[in-house]
Amino acid sequence: MEKIKRIALVAHDTCKKDLVEWVEWNWQTLSQHHLVCTGTTGRLVEDALTRKQAEHKVMYPLNIVKLKSGPLGGDQQLGAMICEGKIDVVIFLWDPMNPQPHDVDVKALLRIIVLYDVVTATSRSTADFIISSPLFSKEYHEKPRDFSSYINRKIN
């Protein structure tokens, strides 16, 4: 994992306000990394970062990739990026109290995140711990994943 991280930011509708507040609080750090967002979250994140930079009279080039909305395939797009090794950190503020029309997609995304051992936060407090970790601003050498036992197993 390089020093400059590839960070996915995802939030269900009821959590978007929380994510935007978190982005505004951490705008300087986030502006130095590559961001990937699903749906409306991408526009909200870009607006928040642009607003904070203007407030502080600094302009970092923003590197934000905006995927489709989660229910329209954004979760699958993000999952594919994880499988391809293109995501280092996922901040996914999801709403455990309200069923989503794409719950199956959310479960599949969370499965891929765990399978590929991607650093993940599903709440603001875990996001705070991740972004404030000394490891966040350094290169990190994760243990290589070995799927050979799964790939080589015999099907009876």
Per-residue pLDDT of 17-51, as tens digits, reads 999 999 999 999 999 999 999 999 999 999 999 99
Whether 117 is catalytic is: no
* Residue 156 counted as domain residue: no
- DSSP letters spanning 120-153: EESSHHHHHHHHHSGGGGS---PPPP--HHHHTP
* Residue 140 counted as domain residue: yes
Query: What's the pLDDT tens digit per position in 102-114?
Result: 788 889 999 999 9
Q: What is the pTM of this model?
A: 0.91
Query: What's the pLDDT tens digit per position in 93-104?
Result: 988 888 777 788
- DSSP letters spanning 41-107: HHHHHHHHHHHHHHHTT--PPPEEEE---GGGTHHHHHHHHHHTT--SEEEEE--TTS--TTHHHHH
Query: What's the pLDDT tens digit per position in 83-95?
Result: 999 999 999 998 8
Catalytic residue among 75, 88, 105, 128: 75
* Residue 33 counted as domain residue: yes
Residues of the domain holding 114? 6-151
**What CATH number corresponds to the domain at position 144?**
3.40.50.1380
Quickly state the pLDDT bin for 74 (edges 50, 70, 90). very high
Who wins on pLDDT, 104 or 6?
6
